[in-house]
Amino acid sequence: MKTTAAGSMTLDEFLRLHGGETCIELVRGQVVRYPLPGGPHGYICNNVSLIITPFVREHKLGRVFSNDTFTRTRLKESTDSVRGSDVAFVSFARMPKGPIPDGPLPCAPDLIVEVRSPSNRISQLTAKAMEFLDAGTTVVLVLDPETESLAVFRENELPIRMHNSDELTLPDVLPGFSVEAKKFFE
For the segment 131-180, what is each residue's pLDDT rounded down to a tens digit? 999 989 999 999 999 999 999 999 999 999 999 999 999 999 999 999 99
What average pLDDT does the chain have? 87
Q: Can you give the pLDDT at residue 18? A: 77
For residues 113 and 50, the answer to whether their CB atoms sit within 8 Å is no
Q: Classify burial at 161, counting beta carbons within 10 Å of its beta carbon; exposed 0-12, middle 13-18, buried 19 or more.
A: middle
For residues 132 and 112, the answer to whether their CB atoms sit within 8 Å is yes
Read off the pLDDT of each residue in 63-68 and give the average, rounded to a whole number: 90
CA–CA distance, 68 with 30 (Å, rounded to integer):
17
Q: Can you give the pLDDT at residue 103? A: 83
Q: Indicate the SS3 state at residue 57.
A: helix
Which residue segments constitute the domains of the chain, with CATH numbers given?
37-185 (3.90.1570.10)
Q: How confident is the model at residue 37 (pLDDT cuts 50, 70, 90)?
A: confident
For residues 138 and 156, the answer to whether their CB atoms sit within 8 Å is no
Residue 116 has pLDDT above 90, yes or no: yes
Residue 119 has pLDDT above 90, yes or no: no
Residue 72 has pLDDT above 80, yes or no: no
pTM (predicted TM-score): 0.85
- 10-24, 48-62, 86-100, 127-141: least confidently modelled range: 10-24
Q: Can you give the pLDDT at residue 50? A: 97
Task: For residue 81, give the nearest of 64, 101, 104 by alpha carbon.
Answer: 104
Residue 4 has pLDDT above 60, yes or no: no
